[in-house]
């Protein structure tokens, strides 16, 4: 169906905001549906798995829950589509088509999707993603994730957004235009990196502990903080030799979480310097932290303190890190007529 026909019948237009992340994908639709699922596809390891599963593959949290007899594939690695083989592309296609199957579109709906991807996703990579999106929606636009967060907050001028995800931390300077490559920095240290650091630190301190990366991640998500230690020490219930043990994890958690921050602060400083001097004080007052990593306790104060030599900074964490990006994508899809999407990035369909 063409764009013109869609405009004649608004009820047939379905707008989607999609935040395609390494660990989670979040979706909001113009009919008020919200979806959150793990960005993972599981395939049976053998014929027994196939029999247990009863279908060729399964997507999202369900796949993760059945991981003992499935081979899990994460289509986005370090925030970009893995494109080593046709197989990898097929995984991404399975994830995307599953997402679209969940939005409850009517057969005659015309679907317009704005898809947020990490700032680093290269031109070629975006084109691949768009080609796949075109198989499942009518019109699609790919834009950078931190730009979507800024859009959802209405902070498109003189601000800096720091999106701390699982695979990457994306930092973006907003100057009232669509951010170009020179306005964005992607660091490959993010939540997964903290998990690794914490895992290694805990094993080193307590060699008897039964530790793996999932346990380290749980400990992080429960106790994460930077800077001043909380009043009560962080005591985790862990296991050693099959038996429960209690362990003070305060210091290892702090050190692992703080390991991200020097690079983040340095990148904020570098982007700050790219603004005209008269705007810099305002930019300092508009520093926004998003993504799952914005849940780290004390992170806004810590960054504010580190920026002290530049002036009095105001650093805020978004209220809803899970949906802030896709809310911005949906808002953009709804507010800006699709015929203008070509000015914002690469578009397919129309
Ligand atoms: N309370 C918490 N403290 C610290 N980290 C947390 C907390 N809650 C979630 N996280 C971490 O946030 C990360 C996930 O964030 P998010 O959902 O924004 O990532 P993503 O969008 O899937 O990844 P990316 O943006 O890299 O593609 C994970 O590493 C997760 O462990
Ligand atoms: Mg993300």
What does each of the 350 residues of the chain score in pLDDT, given as a tens digit? Answer: 444 444 546 779 999 999 988 889 999 999 999 999 999 999 998 888 888 888 999 999 999 888 888 999 888 765 556 655 667 778 888 998 999 999 999 989 999 999 988 776 656 677 777 877 888 888 999 888 899 999 999 999 999 999 999 888 999 999 998 888 889 998 989 999 999 999 999 999 999 999 999 999 999 999 999 999 999 999 999 999 999 999 999 999 999 999 999 999 999 999 999 999 999 999 999 999 999 999 999 999 999 999 999 999 999 999 999 999 999 999 999 998 888 888 777 777 75
Measure 191 CA to ligand 1 centroid, in angstroms.
6
Domain total of the chain = 4
Helix (H) or strand (E) holding 244: strand 243-248
Q: Are residues 88 and 7 in the same domain?
A: yes
| Ligand 1 atom nearest residue 217's Cα | 31
Residue 239 and residue 157 in one domain: no
* Same domain as 212, residue 108: no
Give the residue whose CA is nearest to atom 2 of ligand 1: 221
Q: Is 166 left (phi over 0), alpha (psi -120 to 50) or beta?
A: alpha
Residue nearest to atom 21 of ligand 1 (CA): 21
* C-alpha 41 – ligand 1 centre gap (Å): 19
What residue numbers bound the domain in which 48 lies?
Answer: 40-73
Look at residue 227 and give its three-state secondary structure: coil
Q: Which residues contact 327 (CB under 8 A, 6 or more apart)?
A: 17, 28, 152, 320
CA dist 143 and 101 (Å) reads 22
Q: Relative to the CA of 79, which ligand 1 atom is closest?
A: 27
Strand order in the sheet with 58-59: 58-59, 41-44, 70-73
Give the domain-ending residue among 221, 243, 258: 258
3 state SS of 266? helix
Q: Are residues 24 and 172 in the same domain?
A: no
């Amino acid at each position: 169906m063409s764009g013109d026909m869609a405009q004649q019948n608004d009820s047939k237009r379905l707008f989607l905001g999609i935040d395609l992340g390494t660990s989670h994908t979040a979706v909001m639709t113009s009919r008020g549906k919200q979806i959150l699922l793990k960005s993972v596809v599981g395939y049976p390891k053998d014929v027994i798995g196939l029999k247990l599963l009863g279908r060729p593959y399964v997507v999202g949290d369900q796949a993760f829950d059945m991981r003992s007899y499935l081979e899990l594939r994460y289509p986005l690695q370090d925030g970009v589509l893995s494109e080593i083989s046709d197989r990898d592309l097929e995984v991404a296609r399975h994830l995307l088509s599953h997402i679209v199957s969940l939005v409850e579109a009517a057969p005659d709906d015309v679907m317009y999707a704005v898809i947020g991807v990490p700032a680093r996703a290269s031109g070629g990579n975006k084109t691949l993603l768009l080609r796949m999106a075109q198989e499942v929606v009518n019109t699609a636009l790919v834009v950078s994730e931190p730009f979507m967060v800024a859009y959802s907050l209405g902070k498109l001028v003189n601000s800096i957004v720091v999106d701390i995800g699982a695979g990457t931390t994306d930092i973006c300077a907003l100057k009232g235009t669509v951010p170009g490559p020179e306005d964005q920095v992607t660091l490959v240290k993010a939540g997964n990196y903290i998990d690794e650091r914490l895992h290694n630190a805990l094993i080193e301190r307590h060699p008897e502990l039964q530790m793996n990366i999932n346990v380290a991640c749980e400990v992080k998500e429960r106790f994460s903080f930077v800077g001043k230690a909380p009043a009560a020490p962080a005591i985790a219930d862990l296991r050693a030799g099959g038996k429960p043990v209690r362990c003070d994890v305060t210091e290892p958690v702090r050190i692992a979480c703080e390991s991200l921050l020097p690079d983040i602060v340095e990148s904020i400083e570098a982007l700050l310097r790219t603004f005209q001097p008269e705007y810099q004080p305002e930019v300092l007052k508009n520093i926004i932290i998003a993504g799952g990593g914005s849940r780290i306790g004390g992170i806004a104060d810590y960054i504010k303190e580190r920026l002290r030599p530049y002036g009095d900074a105001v650093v805020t964490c978004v209220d809803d890190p899970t949906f802030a990006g896709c809310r911005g994508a949906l808002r953009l899809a709804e507010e800006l007529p699709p015929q203008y999407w070509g000015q914002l990035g690469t578009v397919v369909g129309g």
